[in-house]
Every structure is written in structure tokens, then in C-alpha cells.
Amino acid sequence: MPKNLYTKNALKEAIAGKLQRHFACEVADATKDQIYEACALVVRDALTEHMIQTQNEVEKYGERQVHYLCMEFLVGRSLRNNAYNLGMLDELTAALKEMGYEMADIFEQEADPGLGNGGLGRLAACYMDGMATTGVRGTGYSIRYEHGIFKQKIEDGQQVELPDSWLASGDVWQIPAMDDTREVRIGGTIDTHFDENGKLVVEYHDYTPVLAVPYDMPISGYDTGNIARLRLWEAKSPIALDMKLFSSGEYLKALEKHAMAETISMVLYPEDNHREGQSLRLKQQYFLVSATLQDICAKHKAKYGTLANFAHKHVLHINDTHPTLVIPELMRILMDDNDMSWENAWNITSQSVAYTNHTVMPEALECWPVSLVQELMPRIMQIIHEINERFCRDLWNYFPNDFQKISRLAIVSDGIVRMAHLAIAGSFSINGVSALHSDILKERVFKDFYTIYPAKFRNVTNGIAHRRWLCEANPKLAALIESKIGKGYRKHPSELQVLANYGEDKALLAQLGQIKRDNKLRLAEYIKEHNGIEVNMDSIFDVQVKRLHEYKRQMLNILHIISLYHKLKDNPGMDFVPRTFVFGSKAAPGYAVAKKTIQLIHSIANMINNDPDIGDKLKVVFIEDYKVSLAEMIMPAAEISEQISIAGKEASGTGNMKFMMNGALTIGTMDGANVEICEAVGRENIFIFGMETPEAEALAASGNYEPMLIYQNDPVIKRVMDHMIHGFGDGVDYTDLANLLLHGGNGGPADRYMSLKDFSSYAVAQERVGEMYRRPENWNYMSLMNIANSGRFAADRSVAEYAQNIWRVKTNFAF
């Protein structure tokens, strides 16, 4: 793109040109939506040019490439991000202003693509940004779901799910690449035999062909021409056009196949940290994997004429086990389509694949029935059986005669395929996403694998796209930072550390406080408009936004809020630091306890917010339809970040990093990356409470945990629980949730995630929060220390570690 497009006048001209050509209208007659689209088209032109250039360079120099496969990419909106990265945001803002528009209004026109559930998908998106910026030649691959994560509506305090059709206005950023369309085969039967030359022949019969049509999203890096590409596959059926089937009277079968094929990219499964055993989900996984590998292999062969050097040129990174079928699929392509021996194919495959684990929750560890894999992808199941047999023979050498252990570690056992075992056996690297989590993988979850393959295990602590989450989401804070330490931290996030020298700078601390207040005001206005609740600007904005899951313990937060309510009711005149508790959370549609917990938040919010004794000392707010664009408004306004999962369960957390970077103080357990946040900021700048992992795990394992005893002995908890059993005045019965805590249910023990056990230390930590807040200068100092020490949680750093320790590719990032 010619440089002059970056000036205000050139941008105005370009936007007017797009309006004319695409909408046949003048600036004066354009709608906001059209203005948005015209801006997006202008910015896109710059990106596609960079994308072609990047691709040409990769092609020319044959550099090693990273292929990042993930069932989710929660990319967020693109216009502001791309304009920022290309260095044209200020000029674009000015251009729009002269045309009579506020930039923020125009951004709001863009759909927020919900192609993910939460942590896993958002991390993948942050890493695309990191790869582009640090110079990694990276491509992300996922599915172009027609419906992303559902839209959440709250009706009578209950979550209702509505379909989200994001494509209408998200389309601008996706460039179809029809020439790269691939065919994926689902179902049918296979016939294998050896021909006269002893070569294996695999014949496919009666399968359903599915076309994988790619759409490319260019992902910009900051201040670089390097573009990371996100390739989204759409499923299309070639069958509707098959007139032969129609005329031979098989039209019903043809239509069935057609519908099955097109359903594959219809909807994202809304399960987070939980596996979804539906056959459609397995088809989606294979569809992603097969289309992606065919694509990479075809291009590789076109360039080198052989796949023998595949592992030198590519790394296939699988984000959790969902794309694990890359292992048997690459084996299939190498052996069946390229005549390679098993041994050669296995060497190439296992040297190409790297696996990141994102959860230790047993219910999320993927298992598929052999019968289903057999039915949907018979050749793949054959290959998995063979991998398993050879793997078990290896195991026998490590653990001779230990049949039990071998069957526990096998890839296929009792009619089930264990995807994590396949991923470990067929990859050269396995990593966790925080130091604690990686240790738990080695010491507990994959202990025996670790004894076999110690060198395969690594840690890469997660990181976030700090430009999106700090510079763009919190421009006032970014401007303040830049007035002190310059702009270097945008590319070298560790430079944020220099801010720690300003701890004594009273004026700076006051400005920090003022910026937080401005951001709080913006959130308060949103809450007023959407919830009709007037919040107290002098209250602590205490925020827990994340998926609703029992292990994340929104319940602990709720129990504490009820206890505060009791305290205030007993003593309305007490000296109390006011609080606004903000929640934002989606629950998986089939997760009854999570949905009931959302209802509980609404019941207590109704009771508390409307109680004249309480006034503006305590408010509870639930923000509907939490998503990336809302997070970008909420994080900068938060003063307290709730990271209160039971220790040992949250693999890392990334919200914790976003809050910290925006100057919120964490109240949290020693779980996931909280441990490293605590190490970075020092105990004095964080509120840590609760059991640590060894204690929590030992107590759970002992079977001696009895929340009923806590209930009987702790009057505060007793009163909270009794209130829950009694109800909150709106007629909704919460004895089910209370029983889960006190007696257990659904086949689980009482209070499985031990909220009652950690309650008192949480309440003490919350008291400390209130006390600290009384001294704004101290508070702002702590806030500054959090920002100053957040640089290590930038995605650029994580990506550079992946590049150095796993992918073995160069970056331009300086540690």
C-alpha cells in the first residue's frame, strides 16, 4: 500500500472511493454501517498486500513454517486492531472526525466474531497477533462456523441461548481462496489390499465427500509487514449437483449426504473445559485436520516434489487434543498417497507435531468410542490401531509385565480412543500453559508418560496480546505510560518494568487513579443503560468475568456477597467501603448447575440492589452476553480481579493477565498463572488466599472433607447457607445448589470444589482489600506495580518461547 494512504486526507479519499464503488453513495448519504465497511475495505487493502508479500517471501526462501490448529479462534473485532498495528489509527480517527463520525461509534458497527468459547480460543487469537509481530511465519487453521458461540439473553434471571449470525458484517476480513478447496471423506468403507508390486492399495467406497473451502483472514502484526494468516474452512457439499444420483432414484440418499456435509461447519460446540461426545464434533475435528494437512502437503510437494523433508519445513501445533487426528491423517497421507514406509512416515509425523494441553479437568480429557471413529473414518481407525499396537510394544519394554499400567497408558483400550495418549505418543513436545500446570502434568496427569519421555515435556506460560488489551482497550492508560517510558514497550513489553521507578511520583499515581475513574464511568454508563442500575462511582469495582464453571468458583464470590449483605443488614451504619460486584459469564447450555448459578446471581442482585438499607454500599451487576468486545471495556474499569478457582484446576487463566495489565489488583488463589503473577508483583501487591494445590488435592483425595462440619461450626457460613435454602424472596428455590454444597449430588461429593473450605480465608482477604482501598495513594501504587510487572505476560514473549524451545524458528523478539 502506498505510504500516502496513511495520511488523513488520503484515508478520507480512499473511504469515499470505497463508498462510491461498493455502495454507490456519497459520504453524506452513507449509513454508519457503510462507513464501517468502507474503512474496513481500505484497511484490508493494506493487509492483503502485506499478506501476499509475506507469502511470497515464505515461498521464495522456503522458511520453516508454523501451522497452528485449533477448533476455536476468538479473534474479536478487527478494524481497530488492524488500524493500530498498521500505524493508521490516529489518522483514521481524524479522517472520520472530519467526515462527522466518532471512531468508537464506527467500531461498534463491526460484529464480534464468536468463534470460540473462552480461554483456549482467545489464546489462539492472541498468539496469531504475537506470531505476526515477532516475525514467525505462522498460519492458524480453524472452522468457519456459521454460528459461533450463542448470544446470551437473560430472561427472568435465566440464561436463554440465541443463535449468533456473525457472518453478515464479519465478512469483510475474510478472503475466499477457492483454488485451495480440498475434499474430505467422511464415513463409508475401505478395502485394503496389496497390488502385484506389493504396494498397499486403499480403496474408498460409499463415503460422503465434503468440500473444504478456505477463507483467509490476514492478521496484522504491530509495525511490521509480516502477516499471520488465519485460514477458516467452510464445509460445502458437492453432492447436490450430482445429477447421476438424482436420476438413478437415489435422491434421498444424495440429499442426506448433502445435508450432512454442510452441517459440519454450521455451529461451534459451546462446551468449555468439557468434552462433547457428539459424532458431529468428531466430524468437525477430522474435517479441520484433513483439509489442513492436504493443503500443507500439496503445497509442500509442489515446491519440493517430496514429503521426505516435511518435518524440517513444518511444525503442526495442536491446541489441546481436538486436532489430534493430524497424527493418523499425516500417516495416511504419507503412506497411502506417497508410498512411504510406516517407519519413515512415523518419524516425520512424530517430529512434526507439538501438543499443548489446556486443562486437567477429567471431564475435558477427550475419549472417542472406537466404533464411532471406525464408522466416520475407517482408514484413520486402522492407523490408530497400528499406532497403538506399536506403542504398547514400546510400553512393554518400559514396564515389563505390568499389564495394568500398559492398559492404563494405551491409546486404545476398552473400545475407547484416548486422544491425549495419541497426542503424547505421536508428538515431539507436550507443554502446559503455566509453571504450576506444567508441573501438575508431569507429576500427576501424565506422570507415567513423563517417566518414559522426560525430554518431551515443557512449559510455556500463557500470554496476551498486550497491544489489544492495553494500548487499544485502554488508550488513556497507554498515553500515560508512553508519556513516562516512551513507546518501546509496544514491541518490547518487558520495558513496562521501567514504570516501577515511578512509585514515588505522586502526580503519576493520581493520574492513574483518574484514568481508572474515567474507565469506571464508561462502564457505569453501560450498566445504567443495559441493566438500569446506578452504581456508586466511589465503590470498588470488583469483577469476575469468565466462563461459568464450578471449578472457577463463582459460587465462592456469591457466598461472600451474601455474607456482606448480612453484615450490612445487621449494622447499616457501619464503616463499610462500598463495592460493586460485576459478573459476566456464559454457561454451556447443557450445564444445569452453571445455569442455575447465573440465576442465583440475579436473585441476590435483585434482593441487594433493591434494599433501601443497603443503598449504594453494595450492588451486584450481571453483564449479559459477555464477549471480547465487552471484555475490552470491562477490564480497564476493574479495580479487583477475581481469580478464585480451587488451586490445581485452572490451567493458567489469561483474564488474570488482562486485568493486571490494566491496573486491577488480583484477589486469587495460588492457581494457574496467578502463582507467577504473585511472583512478578510480590505478595504485597496481590491478595492471595486459600488452600494451595497440595493441600487441596490431599484433602480431596482423603475423602475426609466434610462441608457440613464447617456449616455447623461457622455461624457466618451457616447463615449464608440457611438463606440460600430459604430463598431470596423471589420464589426461586435454591435448595438444589445448597444441597450440592452441603451434601453432594450428581454422583459427586459435597462441595466438590471446596468453596466452604476456602470461604473464611477469602473473606479475610476481601477485608484487606477494603482496608487498602481507603488509602488511594497506596492503592494506586499497587496498581502501578501490577502494570509495571505485567510485561512478562505478553503474548509476544510466549510466542518467542514457543519459537525458541518448541518450533525452532527465529523471531525478532528480544527476551
Can you read off the three cell numbers belonging to residue 490? 509496544
Task: Tell me whether residue 123 or residue 335 sits nearer to ligand OAK (CB atom).
Answer: 123
The radius of gyration of the chain from alpha carbons, rounded to an integer in Å, stands at 27
Element (H, E) at 473: none
Task: Tell me whether residue 356 or residue 685 sits nearer to ligand OAK (CB atom).
Answer: 356
Task: Tell me whether residue 127 or residue 773 sits nearer to ligand OAK (CB atom).
Answer: 127
Task: Tell me whether residue 81 or residue 431 sits nearer to ligand OAK (CB atom).
Answer: 431
- Residue 104 CB-density burial (10 A; 0-12 exposed, 13-18 middle, 19+ buried): exposed
Beta carbons of 180 and 206 less than 8 angstroms apart: no
Can you read off the three cell numbers belonging to residue 434? 503455566
Task: Measure the CA–CA gap between 21 and 503, rounded to whole angstroms.
Answer: 54
564 three-state secondary structure: helix
Tell me the Ramachandran region of residue 563: left when phi exceeds 0, alpha when psi lies from -120 to 50, beta otherwise.
alpha
Contacts for 415 with CB less than 8 Å, ≥ 6 apart: 369, 370, 371
Task: Measure the CA–CA gap between 206 and 204, rounded to whole angstroms.
Answer: 7
Beta carbons of 140 and 115 less than 8 angstroms apart: no
Task: Measure the CA–CA gap between 373 and 387, rounded to whole angstroms.
Answer: 15
Task: Tell me whether residue 86 or residue 436 sits nearer to ligand OAK (CB atom).
Answer: 436
The DSSP output letter for 418 is E
Torsion sign, CA atoms 383, 385, 387, 389? negative
Beta carbons of 759 and 559 less than 8 angstroms apart: yes
Q: In angstroms, give the least distance from the CB of 678 to ligand OAK.
A: 16
Q: In angstroms, give the least distance from the CB of 557 to ligand OAK.
A: 17
Q: In angstroms, give the least distance from the CB of 364 to ligand OAK.
A: 5
Q: In angstroms, give the least distance from the CB of 645 to ligand OAK.
A: 8
Positions marked catalytic: 358, 546-547, 552, 654, 658
Element (H, E) at 752: none
Task: Tell me whether residue 636 or residue 653 sits nearer to ligand OAK (CB atom).
Answer: 653
Q: In angstroms, give the least distance from the CB of 673 to ligand OAK.
A: 7
With cell 495394568, the residue in question is: 404
Q: In angstroms, give the least distance from the CB of 293 to ligand OAK.
A: 22
- Residue 146 main-chain phi, psi, to 5 deg: -70, -40
- For the chain, the first-to-last Cα distance in angstroms comes to 32
Can you read off the three cell numbers belonging to residue 645? 478457582
Task: Tell me whether residue 653 or residue 791 sits nearer to ligand OAK (CB atom).
Answer: 653
Task: Tell me whether residue 5 or residue 419 sits nearer to ligand OAK (CB atom).
Answer: 419
Task: Tell me whether residue 441 or residue 604 sits nearer to ligand OAK (CB atom).
Answer: 441
Size (the chain), residues: 815
- Residue 610 CB-density burial (10 A; 0-12 exposed, 13-18 middle, 19+ buried): exposed
Q: In angstroms, give the least distance from the CB of 177 to ligand OAK.
A: 28
Q: How far is CA 769 from the centre of its chain?
A: 29
Q: In angstroms, give the least distance from the CB of 626 to ligand OAK.
A: 15
- Residue 232 main-chain phi, psi, to 5 deg: -110, 125
Beta carbons of 441 and 465 less than 8 angstroms apart: no
Q: Which residues bind ligand OAK (CB under 6 A)?
A: 118-120, 123, 272-273, 320, 358-359, 364, 433, 462, 650-654, 672
Beta carbons of 787 and 508 less than 8 angstroms apart: no
Q: In angstroms, give the least distance from the CB of 696 to ligand OAK.
A: 16
Task: Tell me whether residue 126 or residue 523 sits nearer to ligand OAK (CB atom).
Answer: 126
| Nearest-CB residue for ligand OAK | 119
With cell 468502507, the residue in question is: 38
Can you read off the three cell numbers belonging to residue 637? 474499569
Task: Measure the CA–CA gap between 56 and 297, rounded to whole angstroms.
Answer: 18
Q: In angstroms, give the least distance from the CB of 74 to ligand OAK.
A: 10
Helix, strand, coil percent values for the chain (each to nearest 5): 55, 15, 30
Q: Which residues pair with 542 in a beta bridge?
A: 581, 640
Task: Measure the CA–CA gap between 421 and 425, rounded to whole angstroms.
Answer: 6
